[in-house]
Chain A
């Protein structure tokens, strides 16, 4: 199944996410032109807040090269994989870019830098299927919670609360798709909302009143809603 294959690839991408602390040091190479974090503004280069999921060359108020705008118009979006390609050799992605940077060949450093930048992009891109998750709290979850076997019939009933907003058949305009997620990703994501490690008021509220068993039931149902 296409969806399942896609999820596997994403799970792998998540595992390859680097070390954000180390990435902060790598970012020193970028600081001359780019700002990131609270109050970041466009300078020589565009600011890098909310980078994940952004269409290349789309930031209002920044004058991009033609080459960059063209790349954006033809569908280039910033995610871990596209950023990695770009950082490895910027001109291979946008030949006429004004970013005078020879590229970062070291794969680990690239992953670290991307993990660091990921800290400044949050919802709605902050979902496992879209991008690796920035906050490294995923693995702090009690193994007992992860091991819970959910009841898919109960999950099917509970899911009706989700499908008021998240389309039962997928579709992710404005609100992400939640169908066919790997069970564990689903559990981790909902607990991250429940524990207020992810920032979305509706999801914090909804997840906040779900018990561990209910989260497991939903995960069991949404892994394969058929």
Chain B
């Protein structure tokens, strides 16, 4: 059932009467501020609001009115999705869950007075703060590239206009031209997986520009699902993809966005489209809040609370939690553990033990889907992997098709879990 506003208020009234004394005392309802409206933040806001039935005041701070999911953004590049298919608004979270959605940038966190400052000048008080800001790039990670070059050499690592731009540049490549990807070092946000992206670019080029070439300069010696991708590239795009790993100087890269050249291990190449994915770090607000150590924000595995501040929680890509990959699925999984803990701390509701899981699907070509996944548990040190699986090379076309269809079902599931 989708709660309409009237029912929601009614239910909230009934629940409030039976509430136990909240752990946080003071006038009015306890307040939670969530920064970042992606897979971590939107899910956390929704679960806290939904399960507390109005007993907690939830504010979600997210600059974009329309959120484009990074997952399936590669499928848009490949022509399997429209951009509008991966765009979501926050209307349901506001209307049906009573969440106060604020479209603004968070620019500061004062942990002593427990106030979040917004670019527009407002200050938001909180009892618990959830940070789910995703990623920013490490300055100077790729020689010759900085954010001012993102229109010439897009990163397309925040979905939306960047993804659109990259797709347009691929489509505008001259016949037999070159596409280059500068792949990121570990750990990186995924999705949008770089190697699924290579597959999708190859898929487009194969139909519109079959003599084009794809060069991948990679600072890593191997990557996730490598065997599956290499098998797929051989099957579908033979001779098109040239992957240059660490052993062949793939990490020794500089770019010149004005000249549209890429220099790999001393050898300069003219390219027609170039996707630069630099090394990553936690979204800037995590650093401003002082909860990062190095590039990421360390958290306690049991509840995703920051190791620097028990009233701050860090979810998803920005967190340094242990074994989980930086995926939307992971962020969504962590958000539910966090929501349960936050609600318990603020209203005295029962807190259940943490459980985490992740599955990442990738599309290699039409109806050729693969996946990898694992379950995790909270230990004293970190989120630790318990069990996992991965698609096998040589699987039947029927199974690969079912895997792709499953990913489409998952997309519908997770987006309704995030946005209501």
Name A residues whose Cβ lies closer than 8 Å to a Cβ of B.
50, 123-124, 153-154, 156-158, 160-161, 163-169, 171-175, 201-202, 204-206, 208-209, 226
Chain A residue contacts of B413, Cβ below 8 A: 163-167, 171, 175
Q: Is the CB of B417 within 8 A of A164?
A: yes
Q: Restricting to B406-420, which residues have a CB under 8 Å from any CB of A?
A: 406-410, 412-414, 416-417
Given contacts A202-B359, A206-B375, contact A163 B412 (CB under 8 A): no
Of B14-22, B158-166, B239-247, B329-337, the one touching chain A: B329-337
CB closest residue in chain A, given B411: A174
Given contact pairs A124-B406, A205-B387, enumerate 19 new A-B contacts (beta carbons under 8 Å). Answer: A123-B402, A154-B352, A156-B51, A160-B417, A161-B336, A163-B417, A164-B332, A167-B413, A167-B416, A168-B416, A169-B2, A173-B405, A173-B409, A174-B405, A175-B409, A175-B410, A205-B374, A205-B388, A208-B387
Give the interface SS of chain B, mostly helix, strand, loop or mixed. Answer: helix
Q: Is the CB of A209 within 8 A of B375?
A: yes
Q: Is the CB of A161 within 8 A of B388?
A: no
Q: Is the CB of B412 within 8 A of A171?
A: yes
- Partner of A174 from the list B51, B375, B408 (CB cut-off 8 Å) is B408
Given contacts A166-B413, A173-B408, contact A157 B375 (CB under 8 A): no
> What are 16 A-to-B residue pairs whose CB atoms are below 8 Å?
A124-B402, A157-B336, A160-B417, A161-B357, A164-B329, A164-B413, A165-B406, A173-B412, A175-B410, A202-B359, A205-B373, A205-B374, A205-B389, A206-B357, A209-B386, A209-B387
CB closest residue in chain A, given B39: A164
Q: Is the CB of A161 within 8 A of B333?
A: yes
Instruction: Looking at the assembled complex, report how far the CB atom of A124 sits from the nearest CB atom of chain B, in whole angstroms.
Output: 6
Chain B residue contacts of A160, Cβ below 8 A: 47, 336, 417
For B333, B340, B409, which residue has the most chain A Cβ atoms within 10 angstroms?
Answer: B409
Name B residues whose Cβ lies closer than 8 Å to a Cβ of A.
1-2, 47, 51, 329, 332-333, 336, 340, 350, 352, 355, 357, 359, 371, 373-375, 386-389, 398, 402, 405-410, 412-414, 416-417
Chain A residue contacts of B373, Cβ below 8 A: 201-202, 205
**Bound CA span A123–B398, Å:** 11
Q: Is the CB of B357 within 8 A of A169?
A: no
**Bound CA span A175–B414, Å:** 12
Give the interface SS of chain A, mostly helix, strand, loop or mixed. Answer: loop
Chain B residue contacts of A172, Cβ below 8 A: 409
Chain A residue contacts of B1, Cβ below 8 A: 169, 226
Instruction: Looking at the assembled complex, report how far the CB atom of A163 sits from the nearest CB atom of chain B, in whole angstroms.
Output: 5
**Bound CA span A157–B407, Å:** 24
**Bound CA span A114–B380, Å:** 52
Chain B residue contacts of A156, Cβ below 8 A: 51
**Bound CA span A163–B412, Å:** 10
**Bound CA span A153–B350, Å:** 9
- Partner of B412 from the list A158, A167, A205 (CB cut-off 8 Å) is A167
Q: Is the CB of A205 within 8 A of B414?
A: no
Q: Is the CB of A164 within 8 A of B375?
A: no
Q: Is the CB of B406 within 8 A of A174?
A: yes
Instruction: Looking at the assembled complex, report how far the CB atom of A46 sits from the nearest CB atom of chain B, in whole angstroms.
Output: 14
CB closest residue in chain A, given B351: A157
Chain A residue contacts of B359, Cβ below 8 A: 165, 202
Given contacts A124-B402, A206-B375, contact A164 B387 (CB under 8 A): no
CB closest residue in chain A, given B389: A201
CB closest residue in chain A, given B2: A169
Instruction: Looking at the assembled complex, report how far the CB atom of B253 sits from the nearest CB atom of chain A, in whole angstroms.
Output: 36
Q: Is the CB of A202 within 8 A of B371?
A: yes
Instruction: Looking at the assembled complex, report how far the CB atom of B170 sits from the nearest CB atom of chain A, in whole angstroms.
Output: 27
Chain A residue contacts of B336, Cβ below 8 A: 157, 160-161
Chain A residue contacts of B408, Cβ below 8 A: 173-174
3 A-B pairs closest in CB distance: A174-B409, A175-B409, A174-B405
Instruction: Looking at the assembled complex, report how far the CB atom of B229 sits from the nearest CB atom of chain A, in whole angstroms.
Output: 18
- Partner of B414 from the list A165, A171, A206 (CB cut-off 8 Å) is A165
Instruction: Looking at the assembled complex, report how far the CB atom of B394 sits from the nearest CB atom of chain A, in whole angstroms.
Output: 15
Q: Is the CB of B417 within 8 A of A175?
A: no
CB closest residue in chain A, given B349: A153
**Bound CA span A154–B2, Å:** 21
Instruction: Looking at the assembled complex, report how far the CB atom of A206 sits from the nearest CB atom of chain B, in whole angstroms.
Output: 6
